[in-house]
Amino acid sequence: MKKIVILTGAGISAESGLGTFRDEGGLWAQHRIEDVATPEGYARNPQLVVDFYNMRRAEAATAQPNAAHQAIAKLQADPRFDVMLVTQNVDGLHEAGGSDPVIHMHGALNSALCAACDHRWAAPLEMHVGQACPSCNQPAARPDIVWFGEMPYFMDEIYDALAAADHFVAIGTSGEVYPAAGFVQIANQSGAQTLELNLEPSSGVSAFDDARFGPATQEVPAWVDALLAT
Ligand code: APR
């Protein structure tokens, strides 16, 4: 059984209408990372941060999965392949496109986290500052998002899968943020074939054995169909 690790980024959800971070007019052109995506920003102004994720949760709630999400789900369903799908995205479009399981290494908009007891539960569409945790009752609910400076989730499982991978494919990510941007190096060291599918070359493209450029809704179904035809 061929082992494939797929890493996706904001680019795979771009054609579903969700903004990316570093493209022209992207989220980091509209908001300061230090204000809305760091623990310090949250401590300084929790309302600004909660509003930012409420806005993104509302946008994600009306977005639809696209052909790229659906193609990955088709690959995951094929018994000839052992696929680990890791996403940096916090939207639920992989799940909506039929993928299961989905590893959200940067957290998820539809999850809430208690900063006091680490309890997680399904986030309401609108979260509020000082919302009580349903488990410990402390007013410590926060978005279950991994902010800059915090440790991404599921890293042990991801590193184990990269060490055993036959293929590593990065889709719609700029390769700007670690540890995700370093996954291709680990995959190369474990002898995996590495492929980048992106709208344009990412900053890490030279580390990949192969790269194809174009919209994810074209490149991902083409890659999956070719793989399933083998
Ligand atoms: N099809 C394929 N790729 C696309 C498309 C598209 N339609 N549109 C944009 N892209 C590509 C861009 O060329 C870019 O390389 O998607 C990438 C998006 O890069 P970023 O905006 O940096 O998003 P991402 O790589 O997911 O960011 C990683 O940074 O801010 C943090 O936590 C945040 O998870 C995020 C992480």
pLDDT digits (tens, 9 = 90+) for 159-193: 999 999 999 999 999 999 999 999 999 999 999 99
Please state the domain extents for the chain: 2-17+65-106+152-228, 19-62+111-145
Q: What is the pLDDT of residue 33?
A: 96
Question: Which residues partner with 210 through β-bridges?
Answer: 195
Q: In this structure, which residue's CA is closest to atom 10 in ligand 1?
A: 11
Residues in the chain, pLDDT under 70: none
Active site positions, annotated: 106
Tell me the CA–centroid distance for residue 42 and ligand 1, in Å: 23
CATH code: domain 19-62+111-145 is 3.30.1600.10
Q: In this structure, which residue's CA is closest to atom 5 in ligand 1?
A: 11
Q: What is the pLDDT of residue 230?
A: 87
Contact present, 142 and 112 (Cβ < 8 Å): yes
Number of helices (H), then strands (E), belonging to the chain: the values are 9, 9
pLDDT digits (tens, 9 = 90+) for 115-124: 999 999 999 9
Rounded to the nearest 5 degrees, what angle is found at the Cα of 150, between the Cα atoms of 170 and 130? 120
173 Cα nearest atom in ligand 1: 25
Q: What is the pLDDT of residue 227?
A: 97
Q: Do domains 2-17+65-106+152-228 and 19-62+111-145 have the same CATH topology?
A: no
Distance, in Å, from the CA atom of 139 to the CA atom of 187, rounded to the nearest integer, reads: 42
Distance, in Å, from the CA atom of 84 to the CA atom of 91, rounded to the nearest integer, reads: 18
Please identify which residue in the block is written with the tokens 């494939």: 4
Task: Give the chain's end-to-end CA distance (angstroms, integer).
Answer: 13
> According to the CATH classification, is domain 2-17+65-106+152-228 in 3.40.50.1220?
yes
Tell whether ligand 1 has an atom less than 6 A from the beta carbon of residue 14.
yes
26 Cα nearest atom in ligand 1: 21
Tell whether ligand 1 has an atom less than 6 A from the beta carbon of residue 150.
no
Tell me the CA–centroid distance for residue 131 and ligand 1, in Å: 31
Tell me the CA–centroid distance for residue 132 and ligand 1, in Å: 34
